[in-house]
Amino acid sequence: MKRGIRKLAREIRNYFAGVEKLRVTPRVSPAEIRRHLEERFDFRQPQPLEELIPSASSLLRAWTLHTAHPRYFGLFNPAVRPAGVAADALAALYNPQMAAWSHSPIGNELERHTLRWLAPRFGLDPDASAAHFTSGGAEANLTGVLVALTHAFPEYGERGLRALPAQPVFYVSEEAHHSFHKVAHLAGLGREALRTVPVDQELKMDLGELERRIAADRAAGQAPFLLVGTAGTTSAGIIDPLEALAGLGDRERLWLHVDAAWGGAAALSPKLRVHLAGLERADSLTCDAHKWLAAPMGAGMFFCRHPESVARTFRVSASYMPDPTRETVDPYVTSIQWSRRFIGLKVFMTLAELGEPGLIRMIETQAELGELLRDRLRRAGWRIVNRTPLPVVCFSHPRLEEGKPSVRELVERAQERGKVWVSEVLLGGRQSAVRACITNYRTQSADVEALVQELDRCVSEC
Ligand SMILES: Cc1ncc(COP(=O)(O)O)c(C=O)c1O
CA of 322 to the centre of ligand 1 (A): 34
pLDDT in the model for residue 200: 96
Ligand 1 pocket mutation, candidates 139, 142, 145, 177, criterion most atoms within 8 A of CB = 177
Q: What is the model's pLDDT at position 333?
A: 96
Write down the pLDDT at residue 323: 87
Q: Greatest CA span in the chain, whole angstroms?
A: 70
Query: Rounded distance, CA 261 to CA 66, Å?
Result: 21
pLDDT category at 1 given cuts 50, 70, 90 is confident
> Is the CB of 432 within 6 Å of ligand 1?
no
pLDDT digits (tens, 9 = 90+) for 107-128: 999 999 999 999 999 999 999 9
Q: Give me the pLDDT at residue 81, please.
A: 96
203 lines ligand 1 (CB under 6 A): no
- Poorest-pLDDT segment among 162-171, 269-278, 319-328: 319-328
Mean pLDDT, range 199-208, rounded to an integer = 97
Which tops the pLDDT comparison, 272 or 324? 272
pLDDT band at 97; cut points 50, 70, 90: very high
Q: Is 426 helix (H, G, I), strand (E, B) or coil?
A: strand
Report how far ligand 1's centroid is from the alpha carbon of 137 (Å).
5
Q: How far is the CA of 165 from the centre of ligand 1 (A)?
A: 33
Is the CB of residue 259 below 6 angstroms from any atom belonging to ligand 1?
yes
The arithmetic mean of pLDDT across residues 63-79, rounded, is 96
State the Cα–Cα distance between residues 296 and 140, nearest whole angstrom: 17
76 lines ligand 1 (CB under 6 A): yes
Q: Is 7 helix (H, G, I), strand (E, B) or coil?
A: helix
pLDDT at residue 377, as a whole number? 98
Each residue's pLDDT tens digit, 382-437: 999 999 999 999 999 999 999 889 999 999 999 999 999 999 999 988 899 999 99
Ligand 1 binding pocket mutation candidate from 67, 179, 290, 437 (most atoms within 8 A of CB): 179
Q: What share of the chain is helix, strand, coil (3-state, %, to 5)?
A: 50, 15, 35
Of 259, 303, 290, 309, the residue nearest 123 (C-alpha): 303
> 59-79 burial, b for 16+ CB within 10 Å, e for fewer?
bebeeebbbbbbbbbbebbbb
Q: Please give the radius of gyration of the chain, using alpha carbons only, rounded to the nearest integer.
A: 23
